[in-house]
Structure 1
Amino acid sequence: MPKVTQQHMDARRKQILDAARRCFLRDGFHSTSMQDLFAEAQLSAGAVYRYFTSKDEMILAIAEDNMRDVLDITLAVAANQQGRSMGEVMAELLDVIRVKSVEEDVAGLAVLVWGEAMRNRSLAQGMDHFMGRIRANLTTLVREHQENGGLPVDVSAEAIASTMLSVLPGYILQVALLDPAVVAEVPDAVRALWPGPAAGGR
């Protein structure tokens, strides 16, 4: 039997998750059966179960994929700010969400995942883990901006990071439910609200 390459396994995993996204967006999590997923992916039950043992695993994998780009940006910026303001960092995160929503309806899936996380403990724990890592990266950035005079120092870095992180769900909800024109200028507004040290120094 020929050896299955990692590239083949990655492509098959993507095929399954893409099919799951389409099903979940069309019918919701609970109305989608495993048989629906097999048919949408055009794969046998065995082929799907080789990668995911349940719908819950697929939901968590999709949620993690959705969050990973946002996490990667905060990791990269935390390692090397390149002189960017907090507003620019937040605007970049919003731009990623917008682009991925156009390509994969990430915003719509995020809203479904939030609702599911209210009843699914493992999903809630996974979301808490990712959000915690993003919050930690933003906290590091906030501290550096506080030291540079770009953000107030009479409020904790953790509180400011949590406040900035609160922008993301509100933006995602609007992208999912409203006309794109409604939120088109939000990234620019975020840049203006949190300028760099030169514009917003002590």
Structure 2
Amino acid sequence: MRKVDPVRHEQKRQEILQAALSCFVRDGFHGASTTDICAAAKISPGHLYHYFGSKEAIIEALVQHSLAHAASRFEAILASPDVIEAFLTELETTSIRRREAQVLSAEALAEACRNPSFARIVQDQGRGIRRLLVDFLAKAQQRGDVDPGLDPEATANILVAIVDGARALPIRNPAADIKQSTDHLRIMITRFLRPPARREPAPADAQRPEGGGN
């Protein structure tokens, strides 16, 4: 039996995952076949099964890769001087402004609605992200960077919902001003997460009741 080179094996595995990702973005999780993935990765179907037993196994591997990457990014964010600013920058560059993230997010939710097996993968990925967010928020609270009055579990759920909605904005409204929307999103999340003592006061005009008064 030929001895497998672990380095080359992992390199090819990553190539297949990248090829699959491009197919999923182009054709959707349901529309992309293993034949499409093999063509993109320049391998035969028989060769594919040396690395992944099924298309579902490829998707699960992509999820695990995504979670591992997210964990490393949260560590980097926590090492930043301004945790909330670093968190917002990460959201903007990796989610809100990435067409790939927008398409895959919408595709995943749509496929999960009609495919119980796929729904399990989406739910597992959701639990993984929430665990990372809860841990991140708790550590940021200990440092005094996030409002200690917020419940980390509930806050993580809200942040996931906000990010999902922001990703869907360009799909729902192609004419939307993304820069303006992103600026408003930054204001909203900053005000939500920042400890009360560190929040910037509202401008004097914003505090004055409508119609003025003495």
Aligned twin of 1:158: 153
Please state how far the C-alpha of 1:146 moved relative to its aligned partner. Answer: 5.3
Label 1:187 to 1:12 Cα distance change in 2 as closer, same or farther (>3 A).
Answer: same
What is the SS of the residue equivalent to 1:30?
helix
Specify which of 127, 136, 142 is matched with residue 131 of structure 2. 136
Counterpart check, 1:118 vs 2:113: yes
Larger radius of gyration: 2
Percent identical among aligned pairs is 27
2: CA distance between counterparts of 1:9 and 1:43?
13
2: CA distance between counterparts of 1:37 and 1:160?
38
Aligned twin of 2:39: 39
What is the SS of the residue equivalent to 1:52?
coil
- Once the two structures are superposed, the pairs formed by residues 32-181 of structure 1 within 5 Å of their partners are 32-77=32-77, 80-86=78-84, 88-97=86-95, 101=98, 105-143=100-138, 148=144, 150-151=146-147, 153=149, 155-174=150-169
Larger relative contact order (Cα-Cα within 8 Å, sequence gap ≥ 6): 1
Query: Which ranges of structure 2 fall in alignment gaps of 5 or more residues?
Result: 201-214
Please state how far the C-alpha of 1:57 moved relative to its aligned partner. Answer: 1.6
Aligned twin of 2:12: 12
Label 1:42 to 1:142 Cα distance change in 2 as closer, same or farther (>3 A).
Answer: closer
Please state how far the C-alpha of 1:6 moved relative to its aligned partner. Answer: 2.5
Counting matched residue pairs gives 195
Residue type of the partner of 1:151?
Answer: D
Question: How much is the aligned-residue C-alpha RMSD, in angstroms?
Answer: 3.4
CA contact (8 A) 1:38 1:44 kept: yes
CA contact (8 A) 2:23 2:37 kept: yes
Which whole-Å deviations, capped at 9, do the CAs of 1:60-104 have from their partners, x for residues lacking one?
333443454334323444xx45442435414323322357x36xx
2: CA distance between counterparts of 1:36 and 1:132?
30
Label 1:163 to 1:98 Cα distance change in 2 as closer, same or farther (>3 A).
Answer: closer
2: CA distance between counterparts of 1:10 and 1:180?
42
Residue type of the partner of 2:124?
Answer: H
Please state how far the C-alpha of 1:163 moved relative to its aligned partner. Answer: 1.2
Query: Which ranges of structure 1 fall in alignment gaps of 5 or more residues?
Result: none
CA contact (8 A) 1:70 1:93 kept: no
